[in-house]
Amino acid sequence: MPTHIKNNIYAIIGNSAAGLAAIESIRRVDQSSRIVNISNQPQRPYSRCLLSYYLAGQYDKDILWIRPEDYYKKYDTEVLLNTAVTGADIKNKTLEISGKKKISFDKLLIATGASAKFLNIKGADKKGVFVLRTLEDADGILRMLPNVKNACILGGGLIGLRAAYALKRRGVAVHVIVKSEHIFSQMLDAEAADIMRQHLEVNGIEISTGLEAAEISGKDSVDGVILDDGNRLDCQLIIIGKGVAANLGIVKGQVKTDMGILADERLETDRKDIYAAGDAAQAYDVLEEKNNVNQIWPAAIRQGKIAGLNMAGEEIKYEGSYGTNSLDFFDLAVMSFGVVKPKGGGFEELIALDAKRRLYRKIVVKGERIVGGVLINDVERHGILLHLALQKIDISDIKDILADEYFDFGKVIPLIKRQANLFIRPEYKDTCVTYSPLY
Ligand SMILES: Cc1cc2nc3c(=O)[nH]c(=O)nc-3n(C[C@H](O)[C@H](O)[C@H](O)COP(=O)(O)OP(=O)(O)OC[C@H]3O[C@@H](n4cnc5c(N)ncnc54)[C@H](O)[C@@H]3O)c2cc1C
């Protein structure tokens, strides 16, 4: 057999962002081995990111599909849809499928993603209680809508508020119940959250903070939610938005895990030939400078791609991801990246707030570097700030003006002069040549 012909069996669990990226990168370098893709999802791959837009009626279902129907044929991949991996024997390299059949593998990618956290309170099993993670969730909510006048969203994070926005666009009266003292508590300070809250309230979304659902009422179907202050809200639909947790169950106890499956710089776990990528993985974060779970689509794609190449015998180092979010609610934009709520010492927060104009900028600095930021309603400079952060550029010359309203590309020129070798992206190169003859 010629040496370039490989004879592996690659098993990939999950057919979303990370799993697909791995299939595609394996096939770039290995056209001969077997790839088996197993997913408990019944349908071909779709974009989870678009689910709230689909729920809002902004997109039809057609837009959700991210790969054509003949995808698996094209990538010469055996696919088992609607099939759960119920166990894994990492030592003997076998997977248990739906409680019985075994599949052997040489290399395994765990791209099982994450699941929405549920709320275990009395009545949570009633008809009309949902999370928003899968197409089935979105379709289930849509089927209920003709009979829904009022909905309660339990949780004031990204998914909860996206669901609230979507339902509002569908003409439903929405009340968001938030346990924390303010919305977006993982991302925003109280002042910034206040800007968002006022904006959402002006646009008809009701928000109560510092409260938790204690019980869901109704016979078989939801008819209300009882809060921990004793008050009751009428509603026919509840969406729980309490964050997500990595799906680790299959391999827990067999590979090292923390918040996710710990993956090294090749995206391999502590067990040889076992890789992890996407929402299930806890891999290097360039801005946090440690392993972190960054459960976002671009990180899943990149990790899947690098893991796939390494599974197929390449030696590619994963450069690391960073957390980032971008939102737009009723034309108010928010962008965040990296460390947004620093814990521990050594951080400095540069904040500019103009509540009247709904402007907020926070830049988080550690030492002489930007490590994170949040921008509300003034997101154009996001790209420059992110570049300074990712390239680890010493910003001490311009620290005083970083959060200024008038901070723009021109203010970065002193840095380009001093650190031209770090401004490597095409949009900066010309400037570097102009300002730094040595570039
Ligand atoms: C409503 C919503 C909006 C979002 N918006 C954004 C956004 O705007 N930007 C952004 O960057 N990210 C967004 N995300 C997050 C993004 O969708 C995820 O980061 C991304 O889907 C992760 O991809 P993944 O491949 O790691 O895992 P997932 O997409 O979670 O897929 C995991 C796959 O594994 C399968 N699986 C799990 N367990 C098993 C098992 N035991 N056996 C077989 N198969 C299994 C599942 O069926 C699924 O196919 C959003 C998520 C949601 C829910």
pLDDT band at 101 (very low <50, low <70, confident <90, very high): confident
Alpha carbons within 13 angstroms on the beta-carbon side of residue 143 total: 10
Distance 276 CA to ligand 1 centre (A): 14
Stretch 362-378: mean pLDDT, rounded?
A: 93
Query: What are the extents of the domains in the chain?
Result: 9-48+65-115+245-311, 129-242, 334-435
- Tens of pLDDT, residue by residue over 211-260, are 999 999 999 999 999 999 999 999 999 999 999 999 999 999 999 999 99
Stretch 275-297: mean pLDDT, rounded?
A: 96
pLDDT of 387 reads 87
- Choosing among 2.60.40.1120, 3.60.20.10, 2.60.20.30, 3.30.390.30, the CATH entry for 334-435 is 3.30.390.30
β strands within 323-412, DSSP E: 324-329, 332-338, 347-354, 359-366, 369-376
- Would you state the structure tokens that stand for residue 198, as one six-digit string? 């006022």
Whether the pLDDT of residue 432 is over 60: the answer is no
pLDDT of 437 reads 44
CB-CB neighbours of 291 under 10 Å: 18
Stretch 67-88: mean pLDDT, rounded?
A: 96
pLDDT of 419 reads 72
- The mean pLDDT value of the chain amounts to 92
Residues 221, 127 contacting (CB under 8 angstroms) = yes
CA distance 64 to 61: 5
Whether the pLDDT of residue 3 is over 60: the answer is no
Which amino acid, 385?
A: L
pLDDT of 438 reads 43
344 burial via Cβ count (<10 Å: 0-12, 13-18, 19+): exposed
On the question of a common fold for 129-242 and 334-435, the answer reads no
Distance 260 CA to ligand 1 centre (A): 14
pLDDT of 97 reads 94
**Ligand 1 pocket mutation, candidates 20, 38, 39, criterion most atoms within 8 A of CB:** 39
Distance 48 CA to ligand 1 centre (A): 6
CATH homologous superfamily, domain 9-48+65-115+245-311: FAD/NAD(P)-binding domain (3.50.50.60)
Residues 111, 35 contacting (CB under 8 angstroms) = no
Q: Which of 233-242, 371-380, 422-431 has the lowest mean pLDDT?
A: 422-431
Whether the pLDDT of residue 431 is over 70: the answer is no
pLDDT band at 6 (very low <50, low <70, confident <90, very high): confident
Among 65, 210, 228, 233, smallest CA distance to 152 is for 233
In degrees, rounded to 5, the angle at the alpha carbon of residue 106 between the alpha carbons of residues 100 and 110 is 70
Residues 313, 53 contacting (CB under 8 angstroms) = no
Note the ipTM here.
0.99
CATH homologous superfamily, domain 129-242: FAD/NAD(P)-binding domain (3.50.50.60)
Stretch 337-360: mean pLDDT, rounded?
A: 92
pLDDT of 439 reads 37
Instruction: Say what percent of the chain tops pLDDT 90.
Output: 80
3-class DSSP assignment, residue 300: helix
User: Which residues are near ligand 1 (CB < 6 Å)?
Assistant: 13-19, 38-41, 48-49, 51-52, 84-85, 111-114, 132-133, 159, 247, 250, 278-280, 295-298, 300
Q: Which of 284-293, 369-378, 380-389, 413-422 has the lowest mean pLDDT?
A: 413-422
Stretch 100-119: mean pLDDT, rounded?
A: 95
pLDDT band at 98 (very low <50, low <70, confident <90, very high): confident
3-class DSSP assignment, residue 346: coil
Q: Which of 51-55, 295-299, 305-309, 402-406 has the lowest mean pLDDT?
A: 402-406
pLDDT band at 340 (very low <50, low <70, confident <90, very high): very high
Distance 238 CA to ligand 1 centre (A): 21
Among 60, 225, 68, smallest CA distance to 154 is for 225
Stretch 113-132: mean pLDDT, rounded?
A: 97
pLDDT band at 428 (very low <50, low <70, confident <90, very high): low
- Tens of pLDDT, residue by residue over 261-272, are 999 999 999 999
pLDDT of 427 reads 58
Stretch 357-373: mean pLDDT, rounded?
A: 94
